[in-house]
Amino acid sequence: MESSILAAASVARASVPATVLSPLFPSSRPVVLRTDVAGPSPAARAVRCRAAEGSVLHRLDDEMFNSSEVIQWESGKSINSIAAAQGIRIRRRCRPRYPSEGVGADRDVPRNVLEQIIWDKEVEVSQRKAKAPLQKVMESAERAPPPRDFVGALDAARRRNGLPALIAEVKKASPIKGLLREHFNPVEIAHAYEKNGAACLSILTDEKHFLGSFDNLETVRNSGVNCPLLCKEFVIDVWQIYYARSKGADAVLLIAAVLPDLDIKYMLRVCRSLGMTALVEVHDERELDRVLKIDGVQIIGINNRSLGTFEVDTANTDMLLRKRGDVIRKKGIKVVSESGLFTPDDVAYVHNAGVSAVLVGESLVTQDDPGRAIAGLFGKELLH
């Protein structure tokens, strides 16, 4: 068994260095194989067995995980109890493996839109993984065109215009507003955005709730746009990050409302190993404080929209920057104000609050000419 673990480990060594990625848990999450203890715990033994079955191994730096985190995983605590301890209210779809997670109706029914999306996403990801196993997707990620510098493009655009850089979103629909644009051609919209000064593009890939697709991401990437691309996905599994890279994404969104700290740390690491940027999204103070404790976060998105209630308030960006702007600036982290921005006043408001960039979908895609709409949003033409 040991020899097959080592054999599998050598397969993955190319990507990253002392932890195991195992499908033992609901999504592929890191589990440290501890070599400093007399004998492996039952969970670690199980991991070894899975590893021996041929799952892909990843090695990460030990110092990344403190021992209590390791023990959390090894103790077999459910993802939901770990998440709840961090204030995360979005539950993963329950597995019978964890009887402590509730029974009956409460267990089987998602409690809000975000939870519904995440539950659907788990089914979708496991189906996609069955068709394209991680190892295959990793190989095709290696063959993808090299990643572009997402943060660099934002910095350059901000310097050029003296305004927050624009991440313009290719968005067909949303769960609450429904269809945003009847005639929807992602490539046409992407080119119009780029021509009118967008620094980066955000491509929604969730099919069920946003009518997006990975095909859109791939076609836009192959259509000759130069802007770096953010894969706007509900990431719950590192498989999705490799998949996004294989389709040409330069950045991915990591939503703190659904990801425990350890997942964020691990996913940041995977992004870095692929040369991608992670835009870590928060909505409230608790999520922001969690994210500020994680090393290596370069760019934070403050979502003005609650993904639980879908209510929007642009004052959220201002409020969080008033409270935590000092720490954010000290750490050199850039902030993107996301959602609900419609007018030059809205942009000026979040600019004054201290953001480096804005992420805008609805107010652009709902207009006849989404490219021309950019000058309307900023109150002037943006330099390309």
| 232 catalytically annotated | yes
- How far apart, in whole angstroms, are the C-alpha atoms of residue 302 and residue 283? 6
Do 261 and 86 meet the contact criterion of CB atoms below 8 Å apart? yes
148 lies in the binding site for ligand IGP (CB under 6 A) = no
Q: Which of 74, 169, 194, 362 is catalytic?
A: 169
281 lies in the binding site for ligand IGP (CB under 6 A) = yes
| Closest alpha carbon to 327 in 356, 301, 353, 288 | 288
Q: Which of 306, 339, 356, 363 is catalytic?
A: 339
Select the span of 49-57, 123-131, 140-148, 359-367 touching ligand IGP (CB under 6 A). 359-367
Question: DSSP string of 171-223?
Answer: --EETTTEES-SS--HHHHHHHHHHTT-SEEEEE--STTT---HHHHHHHHTT
Residue owning tokens 């107010």: 363
Closer of 101 and 346 to ligand IGP (Cβ): 346
Residue 181 CB, nearest distance to ligand IGP (Å)? 11
Q: Nearest-CB residue to ligand IGP?
A: 361
232 lies in the binding site for ligand IGP (CB under 6 A) = yes
Residue 259, both tokens:
């990801």
261 lies in the binding site for ligand IGP (CB under 6 A) = no
- The single-letter code of the amino acid at 2 is E
| 287 catalytically annotated | no
| 339 catalytically annotated | yes
Residue numbers 304-343 binding ligand IGP by CB under 6 A = 338-341
Q: Which of 232, 247, 265, 334 is catalytic?
A: 232
| 142 catalytically annotated | no
- How far apart, in whole angstroms, are the C-alpha atoms of residue 266 and residue 124? 21
> Residues binding ligand IGP: what is the number (CB under 6 A)?
14
| 338 catalytically annotated | yes
Residues with Cβ within 8 Å of 135's Cβ and at least 6 positions away in sequence, in order, are 11, 56
| 200 strand-pairing partners | 167
169 lies in the binding site for ligand IGP (CB under 6 A) = yes
Residue 38 CB, nearest distance to ligand IGP (Å)? 45
237 lies in the binding site for ligand IGP (CB under 6 A) = no
Q: Which of 74, 233, 281, 362 is catalytic?
A: 281
- How far apart, in whole angstroms, are the C-alpha atoms of residue 375 and residue 6? 57
Interacting residue with ligand IGP among 23, 260, 361, 370 (CB under 6 A): 361
- How far apart, in whole angstroms, are the C-alpha atoms of residue 332 and residue 326? 10
Closer of 8 and 321 to ligand IGP (Cβ): 321
Q: How far is CA 180 from CA 49, 70, 112, 169, in A?
A: 49, 45, 22, 12
- How far apart, in whole angstroms, are the C-alpha atoms of residue 360 and residue 169? 6
236 lies in the binding site for ligand IGP (CB under 6 A) = no
Select the span of 40-48, 62-70, 189-197, 354-362 touching ligand IGP (CB under 6 A). 354-362
Residue 213 CB, nearest distance to ligand IGP (Å)? 14
| 122 catalytically annotated | no
| 55 catalytically annotated | no
- How far apart, in whole angstroms, are the C-alpha atoms of residue 337 and residue 281? 10
Name the residues annotated as catalytic: 169, 171, 232, 281, 303, 338-339
Residues that bind ligand IGP (CB under 6 A): 169, 171, 232, 281, 303, 338-341, 359-363
